[in-house]
Structure 1
Amino acid sequence: MSRVAAYQHFKERLLSGELSPGQFITQKEFANLAGVPVGTAREAIQKLEHESLLKVHPQRGIQIADITTKFIREAFGLRKFLEVQAVLNFASGEYEDVVSDLIEKTTEVLENSKTDQSEEVLERAVEVDWEMHDKIIEECDNDLLTEVYQINAARLRLIKVSNRMTPKRAIEALGEHLTILNHCLAQDGPKAAEALGEHIDIAMNRALRGK
């Protein structure tokens, strides 16, 4: 397995909830989880530490990022900084087909979520939730912006490992998404930005409460 593949493999294990926030593991345990020799693991460890997903403590081992108040506020604060500006572009009218497609998907999942609270529907709600945020950044067509967003998205996913979306919150979040998307469809950037900012604040406050 290559260094890049090892990094991706461990990251997937981390974001699956297999490891707990704040947990300590050894370098050997990390290598076993990543499926690589210890030497190869070191480079993946450095990259993950750079992304604030873990911390190396000399003599103590490797600590999975602890979900502190500071960690949550910084991750959601960066998301808000990036996306509230990016949604102005998304609401320009140039991406009407993309916005309409998201509205259709979101509406379908929202209606399903009201009558079917199965794990399968909840997982689909999470997918659609992420898709809107991803598209807002993607349509900026800026590689540096996308890189920063993706690094921060991993932090947000780690937060959500211990703060899973409930059926009730899924319905609320998808409703908030529809408000944002309809403002985008109407090419009202300021209202879309305001609604997105409120949506991110709600998600942050929920994470801070651990609900």
Structure 2
Amino acid sequence: MPIKESRMTQSQNVQLLAVKAQQALMAALRSGQLRDGQFLSMSQLVTMLGLPLSAVREAVKHASSLGLLVTMPKRGIQVMEARPETIRDCLDFRMVLDQEGARRRIANDDLTGLGALRDRHQAFREAALRGETGNTPDGPIEVDLSLHDFLAAGLGNAQLAAAYAANRMRTAIIQNARPFLQDRIISAMEEHLAIMDALERHDADAATGAIRLHYTQTLRWWGVT
């Protein structure tokens, strides 16, 4: 193989490993394998992700730029802490994007998929009322995020979508810090259903108001005032 082609292949391999490391790190943060406030060394993270040190370092740099990790020279890495001010800022940011996403979906009459989303929320609410949602947070978090993703997708703006995606990761770390309780699952589903009711009526004021109420109730559940 010519030297030039060999170097190109090596460069591609390095980039591929960097992408894999970034994806693996994000998955670990999203799933709760890495918890809020957790402290670990770079070597521990390399072992966890099963990828080369150089690739993991690049992934850590990227995650740090998004506020997901804090790198402490000669000490290691710490996952973002779910402090009250962080919770408030992340949820407030999400609320603003949710509200604008709702306005744009209504203005564009773009509600495709809302019916299936409503059915899923109703089914999950009924399961929660019967105490059948299980003890793991995966289901409640996935359903909870599905409406927020739907609203964010209505923004139709690549830069806003990127900002939402970064905040979604911060929110995932926060949500993993405290599993949903049955009562909160029920109330959260009802708050989401109220938002969807307003969307279906094409009532932007009611939708943004319901989104704000959901934000307020979520902060209250977290004990943040």
Tell me whether the two structures share a fold, i.e. TM-score over 0.5: yes
Mapped partners of 1:24, 1:162: distance in 2: 15
Contact 2:137 2:176 in 1 (8 A): no
CA-based RMSD of the aligned residues comes to 2.0
User: AA paired with 1:178?
Assistant: L
1:100 corresponds to 2:115: yes
1:159 corresponds to 2:174: yes
Residues 138-153 of structure 1 aligned to structure 2 (within 5 Å) = 138-153=153-168
| Superposition deviation, residue 159 in structure 1 | 0.5
Larger Rg: 2
What is the DSSP-based 3-state SS (H/G/I as helix, E as strand, rest coil) of the residue aligned with 2:70? strand
Contact 2:40 2:76 in 1 (8 A): yes
Mapped partners of 1:93, 1:109: distance in 2: 29
| Superposition deviation, residue 137 in structure 1 | 1.0
1:63 corresponds to 2:101: no
- In structure 2, the partner of 1:131 is 146
| Superposition deviation, residue 32 in structure 1 | 1.5
Identity %: 24
Contact 2:35 2:173 in 1 (8 A): no
Unaligned runs of 5+ in 1: none
User: AA paired with 2:52?
Assistant: P
1:75 corresponds to 2:74: no
Mapped partners of 1:42, 1:120: distance in 2: 35
| Superposition deviation, residue 28 in structure 1 | 1.3
User: AA paired with 1:115?
Assistant: R
Mapped partners of 1:97, 1:8: distance in 2: 29
- In structure 2, the partner of 1:28 is 43
- In structure 1, the partner of 2:197 is 182
Check 1:23–1:112 CA distance in 2 against 1; reply closer, same or farther (3 A cut).
Answer: closer
| Superposition deviation, residue 43 in structure 1 | 0.6
User: AA paired with 1:175?
Assistant: E
What is the CA deviation profile of residues 105-133 of structure 1, one whole-angstrom value per residue up to 9, with x for unaligned ones?
22222122211434289744432221111
| Superposition deviation, residue 67 in structure 1 | 1.5
- In structure 2, the partner of 1:8 is 23
Deviation beyond 6 Å, 4+ runs, structure 1 = none
Mapped partners of 2:38, 2:151: distance in 1: 33
What is the CA deviation profile of residues 185-204 of structure 1, one whole-angstrom value per residue up to 9, with x for unaligned ones?
00000110011011012112
| Superposition deviation, residue 17 in structure 1 | 2.3
The number of residue pairs the alignment matches comes to 209
User: AA paired with 1:57?
Assistant: M
What is the DSSP-based 3-state SS (H/G/I as helix, E as strand, rest coil) of the residue aligned with 1:2? helix
Normalising to structure 1: TM-score of the pair?
Answer: 0.90
What is the DSSP-based 3-state SS (H/G/I as helix, E as strand, rest coil) of the residue aligned with 2:150? helix
Contact 2:18 2:56 in 1 (8 A): yes
